[in-house]
Amino acid sequence: MASITVKFYSLWRQYLGVDSVPLQADNLDEALAEVEERFGPHLREQLRADGVQVDGKIQDYSLILLNGTSLRNLKQTSLKEGDILQIFPPAMGG
Amino acid sequence: MGSKDIIQYIAESAEIYVAPDGKKYPVISLKAVTSITQTKGGLAREVEITALKQGITPWRYLRNTGTIGLDGQIKLLQSTVAVVGAGGLGGTIIELLARQGIGHIIIIDNDRFAEQNLNRQLMSTEKNLGDYKATVAAKRVKDINSAVTATTFLEKLTKENAHRLLKDAKVVADGLDNLPSRFAVEEACRDLRIPFVHGTIAGFSGQLTTIFPEDAGLSCIYGSSDSLPEQGIEVKLGNPSATPAMIAAWQVQEIVKIITGIGKPLRNHLLMLDAMEGIADNIELSRY
């Protein structure tokens, strides 16, 4: 089991009141499940309070990077000691 | 008429500015540059470049040259920057590029100003609602700096036209509001070997990164263009007045650094500015 760090940025950090949390997980699925369990309901509640309805789990409506690259690019799902999961909202306005 | 004549005119028009510390700077006024341009023909930009090469600073750039030097100002005046989107980010980027003295600005936008733009889109006014954003922006450029020229394309940038619209640019700036267009710009910039300064905003936050052709880019942040909705949380949170200016200003600093070679562009790093909490984060991006 690897010790990793989960970091929240921008609005997600503000809503959750959490900057960074340590987490133990064998693989990405496990890590994401833990993140969802610990933070998903609260985040969605905060978003709803601001009139933003999102569906699914945190990974469905967030940008998530593992050590600086999107999870959407990754083929392997294993984690190693010291990995960092970076989670933040998709901001695409201009 | 050779350039020697222009040099002579410039020398005769030069003044001396004495700074508070007593240091003296040869300068030339806008009025003199305009007069020389009218007398000798050609572009005001060429007169300014010639003056700078003689060590004479146009007054209007006097506060620029402390950071980038006369050589830096010459490089900017000799450069073309394309701004894709002339809305919140793009409008402010264009305004600042004109004031900074970028020689030529390509403005790409097929949209027209609407009332909901007034809170944040610098170029929009009550009087120009309904007008093309790019046309208004080009006029603004001319009003700010007669040495800067602008080309407008009243087109939506797509994969199909991206090369044609961007090919003359030295740097491309992101003033877009959707992900597929940003991926189209990035792809074209990689093909054309042009640096791309990406920026986005939502609510009180925004983020930016500079992408050189060989760098980690949008896919590191977003995956692919079709793996996410076209727009993000800004659709709900909106974009308040100051947020575009916050990110656009930094994008312009990136452009100036790239062109002048001064400083360190934000390559392979995503800078996230959270004005609500007063926090700046810098995430290192890595290719997969």
How confident is the model over B173-207, as pLDDT tens digits?
999 999 999 999 999 999 999 999 999 999 999 99
* Residues B275 and B179 both lie in one domain: yes
Which has more pLDDT, B225 or B134? B134
Per-residue pLDDT at B1: 46
Question: Looking at the 3D structure of chain B, how many domains does it have?
Answer: 2
* Residues B30 and B154 both lie in one domain: no
Residues A9-28 as b or e (16 or more Cβ within 10 Å = b): bbbbbbbbebeebebebeeb
Amino acid at residue number A91: A
* Residues B12 and B125 both lie in one domain: no
Stretch B247-254: mean pLDDT, rounded? 98
Please check whether residue B69 lies inside any domain of the structure: no
First to last CA, chain A: 41
Per-residue pLDDT at B114: 98
Domain boundaries, chain A: 2-88
* Residues B161 and B230 both lie in one domain: yes
Please check whether residue B72 lies inside any domain of the structure: no
- Per-residue pLDDT tens over the stretch B118-159: 999 999 999 999 999 999 999 999 999 999 999 999 999 999
- Whether the per-residue pLDDT at B236 is higher than 90: the answer is no
* Residues B53 and B152 both lie in one domain: no
| Nearest chain B residue to A89, by CA | B233
How many contacts, defined by CB atoms under 8 Å, are there between A and B? 120
Please check whether residue B70 lies inside any domain of the structure: no
Residues B99-124 as b or e (16 or more Cβ within 10 Å = b): bbbbbbbbbbbebbbeeebeebbbbb
* Residues B111 and B186 both lie in one domain: yes
Interface predicted TM-score of the whole assembly (ipTM), two decimals: 0.94
Structural contact between residues A5 and A21, judged by C-beta atoms closer than 8 angstroms: yes
Structural contact between residues B92 and B206, judged by C-beta atoms closer than 8 angstroms: no
The Cα–Cα gap between A64 and A53 comes to 19
Contacts of A68 in chain B (CB under 8 A): 216, 220, 283-286
- Per-residue pLDDT tens over the stretch B71-81: 999 999 999 99
Block means of pLDDT (10 residues each) for chain A, length 94 residues? 96 94 96 97 92 89 95 90 96 92
Per-residue pLDDT at B4: 64
Per-residue pLDDT at B233: 76
* Residues B121 and B157 both lie in one domain: yes
Q: Residue with structure tokens 């990405």?
A: A28
Into which CATH architecture does domain A2-88 fall? Answer: Roll (3.10)
* Residues B145 and B44 both lie in one domain: no
Question: What 3-state DSSP class applies to B170?
Answer: coil
* Residues B35 and B119 both lie in one domain: no
The Cα–Cα gap between B86 and B94 comes to 8
Contacts of A71 in chain B (CB under 8 A): 223
- Whether the per-residue pLDDT at B161 is higher than 60: the answer is yes
Here the tokens at position B162 are: 């991206």
Flag whether residue B237 sits within 8 Å of chain A, measured between CB atoms.
yes
Which has more pLDDT, B128 or B236? B128
Full residue range of the structural domain in which residue B161 is found: 79-284
- Whether the per-residue pLDDT at B231 is higher than 80: the answer is no
Q: pTM of the full predicted structure? A: 0.95
- Could you give the C-alpha distances from B192 to B51, B177, B188, B214, in angstroms and in order? 32, 22, 6, 12
The Cα–Cα gap between B253 and B247 comes to 10
* Residues B32 and B162 both lie in one domain: no
Question: What 3-state DSSP class applies to B101?
Answer: coil
Per-residue pLDDT at B2: 52
Here the tokens at position B20 are: 């508070």
The DSSP bridge partners found for residue B282 are B271
- Could you give the C-alpha distances from B109 to B92, B134, B176, in angstroms and in order? 14, 6, 9
- The C-alpha torsion from A4 through A10 and A15 to A18, rounded to 10°, is 30
Contacts of A72 in chain B (CB under 8 A): 219, 222-224, 227
The Cα–Cα gap between B124 and B133 comes to 8
* Residues B130 and B176 both lie in one domain: yes
| Nearest chain A residue to B248, by CA | A94
Categorize the per-residue pLDDT at B3 as very low, low, confident or very high, splitting at 50, 70 and 90. Answer: low
Provide the mean pLDDT of chain B. 95
* Residues B30 and B159 both lie in one domain: no
Domain at B165, CATH number: 3.40.50.720
Q: B153: phi > 0 → left, psi -120 to 50 → alpha, else beta; which?
A: beta
Categorize the per-residue pLDDT at B215 as very low, low, confident or very high, splitting at 50, 70 and 90. Answer: very high
Per-residue pLDDT at B23: 94
Which has more pLDDT, B93 or B224? B93
Amino acid at residue number B63: R
Interface probe for B, chosen from A10, A43, A65, A69 (most Cβ of B below 10 Å), is A10
| Nearest chain A residue to B207, by CA | A91
